[in-house]
Structure 1
Amino acid sequence: MPSRRRRTPGIVFGVLADACVVGLLALSAWLIVRAGEQPPILHLTFAVVGVRALAIGRAAFRYVERIASHDAALAQLSELRSETFAALVPRVPGALGSHRRGDVLAAFVDDVDQLQDEPLRVRQPFIVSTVVVLASLAVLAIASATAALILLAVLLVAGAAAALLAARIAARGDRELSAARAALVDRLLERSSAAEVLAAFGAEPLQRHRIAEAEAHLTRVQLARSRAAGLTGAILTVGSGIASLIILLALAPIVGSGISAPVFAAAVIVPAAVFEVFAQCLQALVARRTVAASAARVAELTEAPMPAEVPVESSSMEDAPDEAPNLLGADAAGPLIAVEHLGVTHPGASAPAVSDVSFTLGAGETLVITGESGSGKTTLALALVRLLEYTGAYRIGGVDARALTTHALRGVVGLCEQEPHLFDADLRQNLKFARDSASDAELMDVLERVGLADWAAQRGGLDAPVGERGVLVSGGQAQRIALARAILADFPVVVLDEPTAGVDRDRADRLLTDLIGAVPADRAVILITHTALPGGVGAQRLRLDERVG
């Protein structure tokens, strides 16, 4: 919810706008009947001016109310998105493994956006409607207590019937809406990400059929909710007519004696405006169920207990330095990394993926970690950058890794993933992602170090596009760009995870030699690979084949 200061103007202007709706209809009816009595024109002047004022006020106050309320809600929505993203980051990759990509994307986009309805379509309409309806009943009671009691009784009966009907028809749809959206998004993502495979095996028609099924299910859910809204509106419209009819029959015998004709006309017509305002309460109840369902899905991702295998920074880490410690230079002593009997387990797994690993690594040294697929090489890399929890001892420059914030630790140990993510932007932006203050000259220098300067020049320099997820560059070029980022970020320790995956042997040897040679001599390199190291590269070696739990 926006702060009270930000949401109060929208509520105030909303009350004024809806009060103008009721007042305009009542005063117009009074004016028409009173004018029919042909009094002196001066007796009607206040009503004529009042009708004009209320007509202008209805539009003006509604316009200002929309600006104020949406400004508050959208400002709060940006904070919600940031907080949700911040809550999701520590859960990658281990804590979200049981959720489909469509679930996560739908929760982060659709469900978080749905939360803005809480101030816009739940709280504010309910408050505004309640205030205006009660005020209208009070004013009507001054003119005729009988009319006020009749209107109140019909409001309660029609409102209860409409609410029960809406709850019965739409409740299930409200619960299914977010899930249906997520299913459709997931199938669309699968269609786009696996387009080549689907085309190669002729499975595109099947996937299109699955997308159509998901879309049809979402349409059915939305139609059920629309039918509920339509039936609710119909009940309220009928209730409005019934209230006016009963008031007409109840007050008609006393017109001229107990109540004047103009006031009688206003009392008969007021229920139409009051029911129009009252409808917002029921719409708020329907919107509340939708918001609650979306909030539950967001909470399922962001507030569920973290698995023990995923690191969580405790409150005691608040005073820990958030900057990377300086481990290089003349004052540095001892190894950059020291690992003793380290073990790593995936979330939900019963046995460790890596166990009893020990090594030390100093500045200027290279460690090559080999092993068959599934032996835990990438798992070890994730533990070194604290994306997964570990057992045993892990020290950075003699300091326990758990004593450092994840931000500080990842300022020391940088990971170049097996499939580095490249943004759909130019080469410059993909490099400045690592250090936004780098000049073009610095960027070209680091490209020279990783062997991409000539390639970049042929493509148009730093303005060369890389395409969505790096579709315009090869796997080896993507690895070189990832290493260029690591060099720009100035990591004392660089972890290269399978940089030659999908590259033939001759090119793999050249790529490995270039990548290791590009890292500054006073840095340490951890190279994870399943292939043999090219000749002439001196390194420690660690094999994980027999260490799988």
Structure 2
Amino acid sequence: MSERGSVMLRAAIPSAARLAPSVLSGIASGFSAIALLACSAWLIARAAEQPPVLYLSVAVVGVRAFALGRAVFRYLERLTGHDASFRQLAAIRTGVFERMLPVAPDGLATARRGDLLARFVDDVDELQNVPLRVVQPLVSAVIVLVAAIVGVALLAPASAFAVLACLVVGIGLTLLAQSFASARAQRELAPLRGDLQAAVLEHVQSVDVLVAFDAADGSRARIERLGDRLARATRSRVMAAGAASAAMTAIGGFAVAGSLAAAAPLLEDGRIGGPVFAVLALVPLAIAEVAAAIPLAATAWRQARTSAARVESAVPQQVPAGVPVPPETPVDPPSGAAPPAISLRGVQASWPALRELDGDPERGVTGSDAPPAASGTALVHVDLDLAPGECALLRGPSGAGKTTLAHVLVRFLDYAGSYRLGGVEASALDPDALRRIVGLVEQRPWLFDESVRQNLLFARDAATDDELLDALDRVGLREWVEARGGLDARVGERGSLVSGGQAQRIALARATLAGFPVLVLDEPTANVDAAQAGALMHDLVTAARSAGRTVLVISHAPVDDRLVDRTIGIDDGRLDGRMTA
């Protein structure tokens, strides 16, 4: 197993102090189960001899106490174990998210969203089984089994040896059979679950394009194939678990037979009585029940190892080349409310390299999670000056480097050369501090499945309703929002309940609330039909230029020259900064 997966497995185990109550409760529950059967067997056999009731009173109380104790301690075991495990899961999920932040979004651009979600949710959830079904059951079972074998040995050493031999041989054969029968299915279960979730998400998000190109049937067929493979893997795992349970039941029967065979001579010689013989006959059943946790722990361990490796590999261990790293001692950003001057000299940039994955034809990818990006440098040599309060239009064909430049300006991508913001080199600033100065409204703005109010409050959580409505008014959406019932109107998942133009206006209102001195509008009319693109561009640029902001509009579509101060051309990662017609 990789070292990275081992680190994640260790992180899934709570501290000894937090896990101890669950382990102790498990030990007490196991002891109660064995003691209950032993006490019951002794009581029944001894009562058949019709002694005075006084001789049976302790056993009667013991049966009641161990019956209650078994249930109570079992409940405490599950309660304390799940509490410790869930607290640990929260720490793991927070840690994964914190590792995502420095590389997002461009360092994760090649990750399939559905698979990444499966790793972040399902695979992290699978790690709860490390303390719940591996560590705690194994520790409790081993301690209880050792004590039980020793207790049997005090009554009949030969019976203890027979029970121990049956357990060792039976558990060993069960683990070996499990490994052959379901190890592969258990390793494939988590990746298949991620592949299926990714395929479903890709299908749902692209269903209109798939239908338009008559490819929906092929996409559904791929989902069905992945579903069949996941179902087969799940059946294999369940069948192996059922076989293991049946095997442990059989082991209990063999242990009873072995214990009886070893204890019979002692009974014939009068060295033990009938009640003790009854205890030696029934206790192996309880011992086998406790031992059944060991094969189940092995199954959970194999699944947890796969999930741990997937969680660890969800985010690169090191920040990929091309993604900015915060400086050790960042300098203070430019101060003041006025927009800072922007100066780029000889800027070069490229997108992070794709991470290679194992190819799988059923996943629809071979060698990587996404189609290969263009090789080489996306920005070759960029010289650009933006004066405070200026509005410039950057035009160029698709693939010319427009979005790459936008991501460099907000420090999603690293750069070579010089990029100065108010006279301060951008690489000397903390990227988060720079993003409070330079804001980006993307081609497809992200809207959450919440109300308009909540989507705006992400920018400034202390904003009042009047401030939110004023921001919407500046982008021409106030009347539309009021007609839909006000700020509580829902926008749907990723803005499914609003048009492309309305989504852009909401995103710009959010950027306006954030108060960015510099705004970059990346293809704001890309998802709007041509008849409305001109009016939308006019409203967006006019709103963006309010309060004297510096604005860079990126568009391959024509823009009214009256809206911008100058137009800059870009092609093949190069621009000259000269005015174009």
Q: TM-score range, shorter-chain basis? A: over 0.9
Counterpart of 1:229 (choices 225, 228, 241) is 241
Query: Residue 526 of structure 1 aligns to a residue in which SS?
Result: strand
Task: Map 1:76-475 to 2 at 5 A.
Answer: 76-255=88-267, 257-313=270-326, 316-317=328-329, 320=330, 325=333, 327-329=335-337, 335-348=340-353, 350-475=375-500
Corresponding residue of 1:42: 54
Distance apart, 1:45 and its partner CA: 0.4
> For residue 506 of structure 2, what is the aligned residue in structure 1?
481
Asked if structure 1 preserves the Cα contact closer than 8 Å seen for 2:399 and 2:572, the reply is no
**Given the superposition, is the C-alpha separation of residues 504 and 154 from structure 1 closer, same or farther in structure 2, using an over 3 Å criterion?**
closer
Identify if the C-alpha distance between structure 1 residues 328 and 540 changes in structure 2 by more than 3 Å, giving closer, same or farther. farther
1:541 and 2:563 equivalent?
Answer: no
Cα distance between partner residues in 1 of 2:573 and 2:404:
12
Give distance in 1, aligned partners of 2:573 and 2:223. Answer: 43
* CA-to-aligned-CA distance 1:384-423 (integer Å, 9 cap, x gap): 1121111111122222222222211111111100010111
Q: Structure 1 stretch 361-370 or stretch 7-16: which is displaced more? A: 361-370
Residues in 2 aligned to 1:403 and 1:396: alpha-carbon distance in whole angstroms: 10
Once the two structures are superposed, residues 250-291 of structure 1 have per-residue CA deviations (whole angstroms, 9 ceiling, x without a partner) of 211221622122111111211111111111122111100100
Distance in 2 of aligned mates of 1:80 and 1:370 = 44
Deviations 1:111-168 (A, max 9, x none): 1111111111111111111111111112112112211111111111111111111112
**Among 19, 22, 27, the residue aligned to 1:7:** 19
Once the two structures are TM-superposed, the CA of residue 506 in structure 1 deviates from its matched residue by 5.6
CA contact (8 A) 1:328 1:522 kept: no
Counterpart for residue 365 of structure 2: none
CA distance in 2, matches of 1:548, 1:264: 92
CA distance in 2, matches of 1:343, 1:217: 45
How far apart are 1:313 and its partner, in Å? 3.2
Counterpart secondary structure, 1:220: helix
Q: CA deviation at 1:202?
A: 4.5
State whether residues 392 and 553 of structure 2, in contact with CA within 8 Å, keep that contact through their aligned partners in structure 1.
yes
Gaps of 5+ in 2: 1-12, 354-373, 576-581
**Mean CA deviation greater in 453-462 or 88-97:** 88-97
Q: Deviations over 1:12-67 (max 9, x none)?
A: 11111111111101111111111111111111100000000000011111111111
Distance 2:529 2:166 in 1: 80
Give structure 1 stretches of 5+ with no counterpart. none
Q: Report which stretch shifted further, 413-422 or 465-474.
A: 465-474
Q: Does the 8 A contact of 2:392 with 2:564 survive in 1? A: no
User: Is the aligned partner of 1:72 residue 2:98?
Assistant: no
**Per-residue deviation at 1:504?**
4.5
Residue 372 of structure 1 aligns to a residue whose secondary structure is: coil
Distance 2:56 2:488 in 1: 73
> 2:108·2:315 contact (CA, 8 Å) conserved in 1?
no
When structure 1 is superposed on structure 2, of 477-486 and 398-407 the one drifting more is 398-407
Contact map agreement 1:509 1:533 (CA 8 A) in 2 = yes
Shift of 1:186: 1.8
| TM-score (ref. length: structure 2) | 0.89
**Counterpart of 2:343 in 1: which secondary structure?**
strand
407-416 or 467-476: which moved more?
467-476
C-alpha distance in 1 between matches for 2:145 and 2:159? 14
Per-residue CA deviation, residues 179-224 of structure 1 (Å, 9 max, x unaligned), is: 2112211221122112223334454443333222111110110111
**Structure 2: how far apart are the matches of 1:216 and 1:513?**
52
Whole-Å separation in 1 of the counterparts to 2:217 and 2:343 = 54
Determine the C-alpha separation between the residues in 2 that align with 1:92 and 1:131. 47
> CA separation in 2, counterparts of 1:411 and 1:360?
20
Task: Output the amino acid matched with 2:492.
Answer: G
Q: CA deviation at 1:362?
A: 3.3
Q: What is the aligned partner in structure 1 of residue 10 from structure 2?
A: none
Question: What is the one-letter code of the residue matched to 1:307?
Answer: P
- Figure out how many residues of one structure are paired with residues of the other and give that number: 541
CA distance in 1, matches of 2:522, 2:381: 20
SS of 1:90's equivalent in the other structure is: coil
Q: Residues of 1 paired with 2:574 and 2:551: CA distance?
A: 23
C-alpha displacement of 1:235: 2.2
CA distance in 2: counterparts of 1:210 and 1:503, whole angstroms: 32
The 3-state SS of whatever aligns with 1:347 is coil
Following TM superposition, by how much is the alpha carbon of 1:97 offset from its aligned partner in structure 2, in angstroms?
4.1
**DSSP 3-state at the match of 2:440:** strand
The AA in structure 2 aligned to 1:281 is I
Deviation at 1:98, TM superposition (A): 4.1
User: What does the per-residue CA deviation read over 1:296-334, in whole Å, with 9 as the maximum and x for residues that have no partner?
Assistant: 1111122444321122336x25xx47xx845334xx6x9
Q: Distance in 2 between matches of 1:187 and 1:222?
A: 18
Distance of 1:489 and 1:226 partners within structure 2: 52
- Quote the sequence identity (%): 46
For 2:25 and 2:466, the matched residues in 1 are separated by 56
